[in-house]
Structure 1
Amino acid sequence: VDYVVVADQILNALQTIVARNINPIDSAVVTVGELNAGRAFNVIADTARMGGTVRYFNLAYQDYFAKRIEQVIVGVCESHGANYEFNYIPLYPPLINDQKMADLVKSVAELLVETPAGVVPECQTMGGEDMSFFLQEVPGCYFFLGSANAEKNLAYPHHHPRFDFDETALGMGVEMFVRCVDKFCSQG
């Protein structure tokens, strides 16, 4: 069994899960971000290891992805006579802001910044964050604080090896939080 071929076919088949099985109105992602197979260029690989992530907003898909991914793996492995071990560990639920809290944060941002670039109506992010657990229990809002500064060469995106942020943005962040708390408390 050539596990490079098996892994390749699994990878390609996984790409069809969202395209062919998920409502096109819903946002979802199945990503294989890690694939390792073989140890030498002239030896057929006898193992392969894949790792990835699943992101979605609709809680109805919470259990679906694990089942569907394993079905794909089983089908490909059976067709090649390959063995597999499947470990699906759900890490984060979808990060869904409370609309009232998002409106509050937006109103504060519009007071602090002349043209708040990051205030986007109905914006969602597929980021996996601890905040998603809090938002399941308490109404809240996850928002981004712009911290890029091209003049200081601090304009790399998150997860880039050279990412850093302009610390002057911290003052704006503190002011955002203080004003949000003040506005929330004044609403009773």
Structure 2
Amino acid sequence: MGLREDLIDLRRRLHRRPEIGLDLPGTQRQVLAALDGLPLEISTGAALSSVTAVLRGARPGPVVLLRGDMDALPVTELAGVPYASEVPGAMHACGHDLHTAGLVGAAHLLAERRGELAGDVVLMFQPGEEGYDGAGLMIEEGVLDAAGRPADAAYGLHVLAALFPRGVFAARPGPLMSAAAGLFVRVVGAGGHGATPHEAADPIPAACEMVTALQTMVGRRYSPFEPVVVTVGAFHAGTLRNVIPDEAVFEATVRTFSAAAGEQIARESVRLCEGIAAAHGLRAEVRFEPEYPVTVNDPREYDFVAGTARDLFGAGRFTLMEHPVPGSEDFSRVLERVPGAYLFLGAAAGDDHRGLPGNHSPRARFDDDVLFDGAVLLAELAARRLARG
């Protein structure tokens, strides 16, 4: 088999045996086996089952980092593909199996060109993107300095099952993906009988008022040109319809596209919930926890990525995104420290992507025919960036 077929085979083997979180021993073994024989300096993580591989060019030069995430999601697969997950309750529903295989492909392509490279390439195989901050842990363990000096540029890509046509790359300069934070609220009252609410301190109406007020605050405190999203996804209170509970708790995800908006809503959401609780004679324990920063593409690096993609695949295979997307990504931690760019690749399993199940769906399907193109682009980005000096 050629490299294209090898990558598809690797992707499908990874898809059958998905692993979740930071501990991906089987995935790590497959990556190490796929890299075996290449001229790489390889190390593995301590706090997570990461793989970091350094390819040394023939001559001195800059350092370029390429990243591929490896973890799956706690989703039971319903996609109906012949290589479906064999692990109950786990699925590569976000396409990270393609990312892993694609980065392996980039390693092989770059190794073939090692003699012409002026500089070093760091290959970052990362666990724990799906809510575990694996990028942050790999940074703590030194991935940005794996070549012996700081990375000068960083690139990565993410496949999408439904947002763009198959084979089309997409990105934008500046904010590409939102910051994410969690808002956790516990409203403390005093329970009692539902027939005599005046003898209790009911936390449920106050908590409901907070949920509504958070939406009103977004619409009235923030410019319509400064997107902010607050979604309450969990609300728990009570056990019986005629019993007033002691407490009500809810959790929200908060998405922002600038550091200023994130700092503002961190202050104002806490103050709002505490104030509503006080107005009802109750107490609110409110915690705002930042999770990931905004994913921001360096404008110059965006131009470089867009130009390279158009040069390799034609103008019709790259599109400028008008708006960022409200999903979040821990590659943002890399781009906070290293100039670089992140882009998307349409991997729809159909000629018309519209209406297909999207990423994170148990029915999500990704066409692995795009895999080789992703590997080619990553390798070419590294080679051209090294040549640029």
Fold conserved between structures, TM > 0.5: yes
Number of residue pairs the alignment of both structures matches: 186
Matched, 1:75 2:275: yes
Which residue of 250, 256, 262 corresponds with 1:56? 256
Counterpart residue identity of residue 62, structure 1: G
CA–CA distance in structure 2, aligned partners of residues 105 and 7 of structure 1: 47
Residue type of the alignment partner of 1:15: Q
- Shift of residue 62, structure 1, vs aligned partner: 3.3
How many Å separate the matches in 1 of 2:238 and 2:363?
31
Q: Contact 1:148/1:156 (CA < 8 Å) preserved in 2? A: no
Distance 1:54 1:46 in 2: 26
Higher helix share: 1
Q: How does 1:18-57 map to 2 (within 5 A)?
A: 18-57=218-257
Q: Cα gap change, 1:161/1:170 in structure 2, threshold over 3 Å: closer, same or farther?
A: same
* Residues 106-121 of structure 1 mapped to structure 2, 5 A cutoff: 106-110=306-310, 111-112=312-313, 115-116=316-317, 119-121=319-321
Q: 2:364 aligns with which of 154, 163, 166?
A: 163
Could you tell me which residue of structure 2 aligns to residue 87 of structure 1?
287
Higher-Rg member (1/2) = 2
Is residue 55–residue 94 contact of structure 1 (8 Å, CA) maintained in 2?
no
Counterpart of 2:316 in structure 1: which amino acid? Answer: T
Q: Percent identity?
A: 33
Post-superposition shift, 1:98?
0.6
- Bigger mean CA deviation after superposition, 26-35 or 107-116: 107-116
Q: 2:349 aligns to what? A: 149
Q: Normalising by the residue count of structure 2, what TM-score does the alignment of the two structures yield?
A: 0.44
- CA RMSD in angstroms, aligned pairs only: 2.3
- SS of equivalent residue, structure 1 residue 96: strand
Structure 2 gap segments, 5+ residues each:
1-200
**Using a 3 Å threshold, how does the CA distance of structure 1 residues 159 and 48 change in structure 2: closer, same or farther?**
farther
Q: Cα–Cα, structure 1 residues 160 and 121, in superposed 2: closer, same or farther, change >3 Å? A: closer
Q: What corresponds to 1:184 in structure 2? A: 385
Greater RCO structure (CA 8 Å; 6+ sep): 2
Displacement after TM superposition at 1:103 (Å): 1.5
TM-score scaled by length of structure 1: 0.86
Counterpart-to-counterpart distance in 2, 1:28 and 1:8:
20
Q: Contact between 1:97 and 1:140, CA under 8 Å: does it hold in 2?
A: yes
Shift of 1:39: 2.2
Confirm whether residue 3 of structure 1 aligns to residue 192 of structure 2.
no
1:4 deviation in Å?
A: 2.7
- Is the Cα contact below 8 Å between 2:203 and 2:248 reproduced in 1? yes
Quick check: which one's strand share is greater?
A: 2
Task: For residue 40 of structure 1, report the CA deviation from its aligned partner.
Answer: 2.6
1:122: how far off?
5.0
- CA 1:16–1:113: 2 relative to 1, 3 Å: farther
